[in-house]
Structure 1
């Protein structure tokens, strides 16, 4: 309870009214559009015209819809990753750094391992290795928070820049494994052919920007909903997030809960965002 004055106080609801489940998301979207409109107007772009063009180009044609689904895939996975951590009251903002490390790990697998593997194994191998790389990257701030109480906001934010500079070094500052030796332009090596996914045609002869990973993102969303609502571990994470002392009294491990909350965070982010280079740029 938060007391704001003699006759005003805020108390947490025991249950959330059904109407808020609709009103809050809609209000959030409206607020985001209003903020965007301010920046559009400040830069000389008519907000209403811009939003109408956005709807027209993204949702009124076959290519617009499929491109939107393709671009939304990594955003969905990244959002799920952040949502899982936030549910544990872990305000991790290091998804960008985890993405870079996942891409490094996945690129290594796509170059070093994929040639010797069949296609059905090569793509999952690339995704798994990328997920593991992202998991190891975020393990440090997870342990710092669980053991020392270090703010994950600071540690994950700072690690973003470390990861970004590491990628820049591997591509622009070195001539090692990741640098493409066949061109003078600084770029990464291409992954093996059998480690790439083909775009979906949706039973047409048209080439789209939507890939099978879109359905993986949808499956992840369904799984996360079940995991947080119906599984034992989901219950434990909810208890620990709301009352760490109660969770410890019940024998729940703070390190396990907070550390595990980070692993799906990075793995889901990596598996979604790796789609960009596996199937689009192939490097």
Structure 2
């Protein structure tokens, strides 16, 4: 038996691989649920009810999916060009604290139609700057950006903690470590009244479509794909590799920073160190489940959010730990990696 690389990847196999990977992960997780002494089908039914069984459940799932779409796009854009951005978590927090810094007074007198896009842009610029630093170290000194972006996550969280305990601390929070709130005119409108679902979801879906169009229909999209397939061949073909990677870093870091901005403006209104339950890291899983396809990121983000939100309802209903959602999402990543491998190789006798 030997492995043989496919001359081309069949479209049907590429489309089916994420679905197969998810079902394989659910099957393996089902074994763990059974070992915990719970009925497997009932557990998955309760996850479905907990994530989409009511208006509240559905809106909470979509609210949770919104930052995952942004961080999933950030990872997908970077990985496609072989910029290994593991720092979306840090970029998320820096984008969030930038919005808190400018959203309290700088945009206070602006109309909402101006204040909201200005703050989104500020968050995106802050996130892009965080990724440009490790990329500059890679281009100038050959430093591995996997290490630098990962370590910058901890630096970013500590910096945010310092800011909300110092110059950006809310004097009306009774000592609780949180930033000053964003002005009311810069908060994102709700899509459905009396829920937390905001227009950030529409913005995220629109940006996913725009990123797909850029990658499929522009010179920059072709250049970034060439840089990811073979940097040496791209350079030989005349692709300006350094400037292309800088543009990719700006887009990827900007999307992660925008995730933090939207989460502050749409959900909390201020920044705390627990603002993200791991949106940056989960974005990597979302990107891989989507096979790095921008539109697929939307579906993968909703699936991931549904697992996390639905697991809480499952835990209350049948009394097993909600951590089964973490296991299922992690297994989805592993099974997706195997599926991607077999879309590129076949077994020959």
Same fold (TM over 0.5): yes
Give, in whole Å, the separation in 1 of the partners of 2:177 and 2:85. 32
Unpaired segments ≥5 residues, structure 1: 1-6
Give the superposition deviation at 1:34. Answer: 4.5
Cα 1:261–1:32 shift into 2, 3 Å = farther
With the length of structure 2 as denominator, give the TM-score of the two structures: 0.72
| 1:4 match | none
| 1:245 match | 232
Quick check: which has more Rg, 1 or 2?
1
Q: 1:265 and 2:241 equivalent?
A: no
Give, in whole Å, the separation in 1 of the partners of 2:157 and 2:259. 19
Q: 1:19 and 2:12 equivalent?
A: yes
Give the superposition deviation at 1:47. Answer: 5.1
| 1:151 match | 144
Q: 1:107 and 2:100 equivalent?
A: yes
| 2:214 match | 227
Give, in whole Å, the separation in 2 of the partners of 1:144 and 1:35. 41
Tell me the alpha carbon deviations over residues 194-225 of structure 1, each in whole angstroms, 9 at most, x when there is no partner. 11112112xxxx42222111111111111111
| 2:135 match | 142
CA RMSD of aligned residues (A): 2.1
Unpaired segments ≥5 residues, structure 2: 271-349
Q: 1:116 and 2:106 equivalent?
A: no
Aligned length: 269
Q: Which of 4, 10, 15 matches 1:10?
A: 4
Give, in whole Å, the separation in 2 of the partners of 1:124 and 1:198. 13
Secondary structure (helix, strand or coil) at the match of 2:238 reads coil
- Paired residues of 1:103 and 1:130 also in contact (CA < 8 A): yes
Q: 1:181 and 2:162 equivalent?
A: no
Equivalent residue runs for 1:171-210 within 5 Å: 171-172=164-165, 174=166, 176=167, 178-182=168-172, 183-201=174-192, 206-210=193-197
- Paired residues of 1:94 and 1:157 also in contact (CA < 8 A): yes
| 1:29 match | 22
Give, in whole Å, the separation in 2 of the partners of 1:142 and 1:34. 39
Give, in whole Å, the separation in 2 of the partners of 1:169 and 1:38. 44
Cα 1:36–1:131 shift into 2, 3 Å = farther
After TM superposition, the structure 1 stretch with the greater mean CA deviation from structure 2, 84-93 or 53-62, is: 53-62
Give the superposition deviation at 1:242. Answer: 1.0
Cα 1:250–1:66 shift into 2, 3 Å = same
